[in-house]
């Protein structure tokens, strides 16, 4: 689990494995990530982290799955970004 501090933001993610295409989109202040990989052996999780990292413009090494590794609903920690920046990127009202 990632160290909790002011420079580790958290984001709620819903992963949809075995999708026809790869996609990241914002829905209701959270991310929906469609991956083509199956949920076996962590393949969907790895593809999810890669897509979210690309979407955020940060290295994949800055992301960790903090909860939900074996579920579709996950909390991903992003080191090096604060929560206000993530909320702004998600379009959360009142954040910029």
pLDDT by residue (tens digit) across 73-89?
999 999 999 999 888 88
Number of structural domains the chain divides into: 1
Tell me the average pLDDT of the chain: 89
pTM assigned to the model? 0.86
Reply yes or no on whether the pLDDT at 7 is more than 90.
no
Alpha helices in the chain (DSSP H): 43-56, 83-90
Of the CA atoms within 13 Å of residue 70, those in its CB half-sphere come to 1
Domain containing residue 25: CATH number: 3.30.1200.10
On the question of pLDDT at 54 being above 70, the answer is yes
Is the pLDDT assigned to residue 37 strictly greater than 60?
Answer: yes
Q: How far apart are CA 74 and CA 94, in angstroms?
A: 24
55 CB neighbour count, 10 Å cutoff: 15
CA distance 8 to 24: 21
d(CA 68, CA 71): 5
Residue at 59 is within a domain? yes
Query: Is 61 domain-assigned?
Result: yes
């Amino acid at each position: 689990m990632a160290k909790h501090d002011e420079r580790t933001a958290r984001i709620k993610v819903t992963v949809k494995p075995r999708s026809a295409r790869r996609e990241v989109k914002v829905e209701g202040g959270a991310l929906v990530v469609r991956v083509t990989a199956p949920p076996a052996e962590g393949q969907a999780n790895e593809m999810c982290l890669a897509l979210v990292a690309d979407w955020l413009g940060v290295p994949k090494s800055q992301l960790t799955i903090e909860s939900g590794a074996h579920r579709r609903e996950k909390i991903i920690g992003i080191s090096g970004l604060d929560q206000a920046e993530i909320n702004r990127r998600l379009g959360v009202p009142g954040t910029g």
